[in-house]
Amino acid sequence: MIPAPFTYHRPKTLGAALRLLQTLGSVARVLAGGQSLLPMMKLRLAAPAHLIDIGRIAALRRIRAGGGRLRIGALATHSMIESVPAVRRWVPVLAETASTIGDLQVRNLGTMGGAAVHADPAADYPATLLALDAEFVLQGPDGARIVPASEFFQGLMATALRPDELLIEISLPTAQRVGAAYMKMPNPASGFALAGVAASVALDGDGRCRHVRVGITGVASAAYRARHVEQALLGQEPTDEVLAAASAAAADGVDASADLHASAEYRRHLARVLTRRALAAARDRRRSGKQGLPSS
């Protein structure tokens, strides 16, 4: 199908893009990699009067490490995140997650920021960003503000981003000595997650959990932290039996989604199974001193 008519804008700077957003307001949509928005426009599920293409703003494509943080520009593509040495060294589970997204063409064009803002309930990044305590840097007319991942994803394709703001950067800690893993059950046609779980684990000197994060996607209308699982594991030695018992709470209190691909009960089952597996992989990586992927 052909999209509804729209006016196309291609700002060359962040300032110009923000001015367009402030001027055009809710009748405009921002185009990053286009892998989610353009199909919606072709199906007339989205019909913005104005399209603001930020793809040429080079400053939003940078990836840099320093000061205990890895800072990823919103326009960094999935392929960049999968392959850039800084990501593979400092946050390898993020590269692992990127490698599971779509196909080669999608990974070459799609962007991390665009995927995060789109907030598809079956997207892969949200689970990992929750498990890594990521922060989102949002730029608006009054300056920048920082929103933690735990507050960014707010519902079905809904985030904390305001209409006059742009996501410019996602920041992740690099100083934490954690093991982390991402696992999912993909839809065989689309590759989206029927359920996906990211886990990060840090151990104290006695081998007990001193830090646990579990992010889950694909199960509910928005990605969420499995806080019951996290709380059950703190201070515990993460044996297989302990992990299995804690993982049983992965979908507690969650209104699981049901559709033609999977029932709500199957998604809850996947959440429990994948949580146990992701936690075990994260634990083993921490014990071995290997977070995941090699650095090069």
CATH number for the domain formed by residue range(s) 7-53: 3.30.43.10
Q: How far apart are CA 175 and CA 74, in angstroms?
A: 22
pLDDT of residue 233: 98
pLDDT of residue 260: 93
Domain 58-173 bears CATH identifier 1.10.10.410: no
* Angle of helix 264-288 versus helix 240-247 axis, rounded to 10: 150
Inform me whether the pLDDT recorded for 293 exceeds 60.
Answer: no
Least trusted range by pLDDT, from 91-95, 100-104, 157-161, 226-230: 100-104
Inform me whether the pLDDT recorded for 250 exceeds 80.
Answer: yes
Q: Is 155 exposed, middle or buried (0-12, 13-18, 19+ CB in 10 A)?
A: exposed
Which range has the top average pLDDT, 174-178, 186-190, 208-212? 208-212
CATH number for the domain formed by residue range(s) 179-288: 3.30.390.50
Confidence of residue 92 (pLDDT cuts 50, 70, 90): very high
Number of H helices, E strands in the chain: 12, 14
Q: How many angstroms separate the Cα of 237 from the Cα of each of 181, 233, 285? A: 18, 8, 15
Confidence of residue 104 (pLDDT cuts 50, 70, 90): confident
Domains of the chain, by residue range, sit at: 7-53, 58-173, 179-288
Inform me whether the pLDDT recorded for 52 exceeds 50.
Answer: yes
Averaged pLDDT of the chain: 94
pLDDT of residue 296: 34
